[in-house]
Amino acid sequence: MAIDRLAWRTLAARPLRSLLTVVGVALGVGVLAASLTLGAALDAAIDRTVSTMVGRADLRVSAFLEPGLSPEAIGTIVETPGVLEAAAVIERRTFLASVPGSPAPDAVTVLGVDPLTYPSLHDLPIAAGSGLTDPDEPVALITESLAESDGYGLGSRLSVLGPGGPLGVRVVGIVPGAGPLPQVGRTVILPIDTARAALAISGATRVDLLLEPGSAEAVLASLAARMAEPYVLASPADLARSLRASAAAFEGMAALVAAVVLFVGAFLIVNTLSMTVGERAREVGLLRAAGATRGQASRFVLSGALLLGVSGSLAGVLAGGVLAVLLAAGVSSATGLPAVVTPVDLRSAAIAAAVGVAVTVMAAIEPALRAAQISPVEALRARIDLPHISRGRLGWIGLVFIVVGGLALLAWPPSVAPAGGDVQAALAVYLVLLAATLLSPFLLRPLARLLGLPLAVFVAVEERLARGSVGRDRSRAALTLGSLVVGLAMIVALGWSAQAARASAFAWLDDVVPGDELISSIRPIAADEGIVETLAAVPGVERVTPIGTFGLAYRGQRVDAAAIVGADFLADGRLTVLAGERAAALRALDEGGAAILPSAAATALGLGLDDTMRVATGRDQFLDLRVVAIVERSLPGGGGEAVLVGWPDAAASLGVAGADAFAVRIAPAALEPTRDAVRRTAATFALESNPIERVQGAVAEALARVFGVFDALAFVAVIIAALGIVNTLTMGVVERVREIGVLRAIGMTRVQVMRMVVVESTVLGVVGVVLGGATGLAVGAVLLGLGARFDGATGLPWPALGAAAILGLVLPALAALYPSLLAARVSIVRALRFE
């Protein structure tokens, strides 16, 4: 206990350094805790969403084609042996009629439910008013979120727009929160027959089933044998898996960034404890001389580390809770899942704290072993030279970080692991960062010499002294510079990833959308509604291309598809053809029996040029589509790039009722006035028209929200690096008190002394920027190359490099403030007495 108390008093004697280390541990643990808490919140959100969406159902049978399941198909499903309960549901997007003159409100989702069967499978709590009772009464329930955003209440009259004409209903009840479709929120729940009348649907879009226990296989077989229409089966597990897959990329990246922040935090810990041992070598030696065993000397260090680790981890858990709450909105926005974060998620907090303490203690093992090796004789010398400690430390750093990497893999989100590519990318990123860290001390001297030249022009002596000082302790430089390099590298890499994603999305839209304005509809608009002709008649409009998105049933899976007019794409010069003859292929689409595949889909489906793609159109009915071209990119579908087919096939064989988008090309000479005219015309059809730039802007905004979360986490790493710089510079000042005293004695002014420390920090910063930039590009290349999230790189990430440069120069300069003041305040007389 005496040794422990001595260790704790040693920490208390260096309050600033101890505080910085605790803050470093806290930030590392905080980011890890936040990442785990957000992961847990996402998992909970997925479970909640699945439970809300599916309720007690064991199986969901959804329509594959646009018109939905027919009444006959519903009958077949309901009568399947093994089905205990069945609830047919309609789910469609539409608009509510607005007050004339006021702007059109956002779309709503109509959920048509049978008041008799729905409650047996789904809970539908009512916050105010009453529930539904009859399947055909003209009443509605609305969600609280819709009521709040659009100002509706009990008794309000709604006019639901649909092919069956506007249908008036009265609001009789309010459903709490976002209601039964949490990802949508703006939901109007109608009795099913009322919904059928409003939306002109005879059946339903899906049927939820409660099955007899153990009958699932038999039900599936029976459905396969008896269903005449194409359908899609989904179980709650499938839904959860699909939602987890959509959140996995985000969770994976968040976990990677958290591992990196922990990595940087560990630098600070190793550095601090090593400094403490170096500084306390004499005391350790004296303890040994007084009879302390090697074990006690090690305990002296480990005990201090444990205190730092526990304090930092506790603070980190609290910081993580705050960080998680702050980032929750960004996470919800990035994943589309309503993540509700509890500030203290016990499991996440426990894991993060345990990892924090473990990493701290692990980081302390090397300094502890070194402490044990200090001989009393060595310690009693006037000046203890411990270069062998520095050399040995570098190897240990490598080992510690390999173990940290292993721990990170163990803590890797389970939903991400099966993807494989993400884990590989994470490992590759980790190795690149480790390599950069271990190489940085060897590159420090030559780079400092080279990059210090401009500084030397203005502050020659300060630059010379500072340059020598930064390279004095190689392993300390590795840790200090390494953490800065890693932090800045993550800023650059994430910036590059964001830029590549944005550029890729922009290039994609430019390459595939044949228009300057994109008009979207939430319902299919049939060719005979005359919208194309009306829009084409607007002066200045060159071309109007209808686009209909839908799904193809190919080999039992759903493939995103889009119906297009080949001639329009040919005339507009869209699509980059990789294989096939462009003009012939686009003409073939309009003739029918042909498909154009994006290269990603061609690879995924194993299809090549001139292969036949046999898609299901009904029970034992198929349509053969010849692959006439493979293009670099295609129109975006629901989940990926769409297979392109011509309108004749889409309308006649694939059940596509109409277009849900129109691309309008405008003559360049009259772009702006024509745009206005197009928007006005679109508004008369209750359609929304957006310039393609706005669509790009929306994409950029969505990406910015996702990467904003990662940037915030990476910024924490840079902050930890800055703390490391404060620590190292302060230690440097303390170690060089006598030198500083001499410099002051021979005429160096306080300002020059301060400048020397700031220049030292600046040299570190400049070298950090160069190495961090280079490492960031390497990491970015790994993320772009292996992550497979972004199809195509872009130019160098100058904005991210610029941001890293600013951070790398400003933060070290700020970090140098305190140590430089400390150096300037050195009393010459005391310094010269200093031992």
Chain residues in the site for other proteins (CB under 8 A)? 460-461, 464-465, 468-469, 472, 738-739, 741-750, 752, 828-829, 832
Smallest distance, Å, CB 751 to other proteins?
9
Residue 740 is inside which H or E element, if any?
helix 737-745
The nearer residue to other proteins, 387 or 395, going by C-beta atoms, is: 387
The nearer residue to other proteins, 182 or 471, going by C-beta atoms, is: 471
> CA-based angle 524:526:531, to the nearest 5?
100
d(CA 337, CA 590): 40
The nearer residue to other proteins, 463 or 660, going by C-beta atoms, is: 463
Structure tokens at 737: 């008190």
Residue 389 half-sphere exposure toward CB, CA atoms < 13 A: 27
The nearer residue to other proteins, 176 or 468, going by C-beta atoms, is: 468
**Are 356 and 309 within 8 A, CB to CB?**
yes
């390497």: which residue's tokens?
Answer: 778
The nearer residue to other proteins, 492 or 826, going by C-beta atoms, is: 826
Going by C-alpha positions, the residue among 282, 267, 283 that lies closest to residue 7 is 283
Smallest distance, Å, CB 483 to other proteins?
23
The nearer residue to other proteins, 155 or 747, going by C-beta atoms, is: 747
**Are 413 and 252 within 8 A, CB to CB?**
yes
**Are 824 and 750 within 8 A, CB to CB?**
yes
CA quadruple 779, 781, 787, 790: dihedral positive or negative?
A: positive
The nearer residue to other proteins, 415 or 469, going by C-beta atoms, is: 469
Residue 421 CB partners (closer than 8 Å, separation 6+) = 786, 787, 788
The nearer residue to other proteins, 389 or 433, going by C-beta atoms, is: 389
Smallest distance, Å, CB 746 to other proteins?
5
Burial class, 458, CB count within 10 angstroms (exposed 0-12 / middle 13-18 / buried 19+) = exposed
CA quadruple 647, 652, 656, 660: dihedral positive or negative?
A: positive
Smallest distance, Å, CB 468 to other proteins?
3
Smallest distance, Å, CB 791 to other proteins?
51
Structure tokens at 476: 């300390």
Residue 359 CB partners (closer than 8 Å, separation 6+) = 28, 262, 265, 266, 269, 309, 400, 404, 407
The nearer residue to other proteins, 68 or 741, going by C-beta atoms, is: 741
d(CA 116, CA 127): 20
Smallest distance, Å, CB 753 to other proteins?
10
d(CA 706, CA 257): 13
The type of residue at 347 is: R
Smallest distance, Å, CB 383 to other proteins?
9
Provide DSSP, 612-667: EEEEEEETTEEEEEEEEEEES---B-SSSBPEEEEHHHHHHTS---SEEEEEEEE-
d(CA 335, CA 341): 14
The nearer residue to other proteins, 464 or 558, going by C-beta atoms, is: 464
Quickly count: other Cβ atoms within 10 Å of residue 68's Cβ. Answer: 24
Smallest distance, Å, CB 472 to other proteins?
7
Smallest distance, Å, CB 813 to other proteins?
22
């502890």: which residue's tokens?
Answer: 368
The nearer residue to other proteins, 467 or 665, going by C-beta atoms, is: 467
Smallest distance, Å, CB 448 to other proteins?
12
Strand stretches in 493-556, DSSP E: 517-525, 541-554
Going by C-alpha positions, the residue among 415, 408, 348, 417 that lies closest to residue 41 is 348
Smallest distance, Å, CB 819 to other proteins?
18
The nearer residue to other proteins, 159 or 752, going by C-beta atoms, is: 752
Pairing label, strands 157-160, 139-143: unpaired
Smallest distance, Å, CB 456 to other proteins?
11
The nearer residue to other proteins, 539 or 747, going by C-beta atoms, is: 747
Smallest distance, Å, CB 481 to other proteins?
17
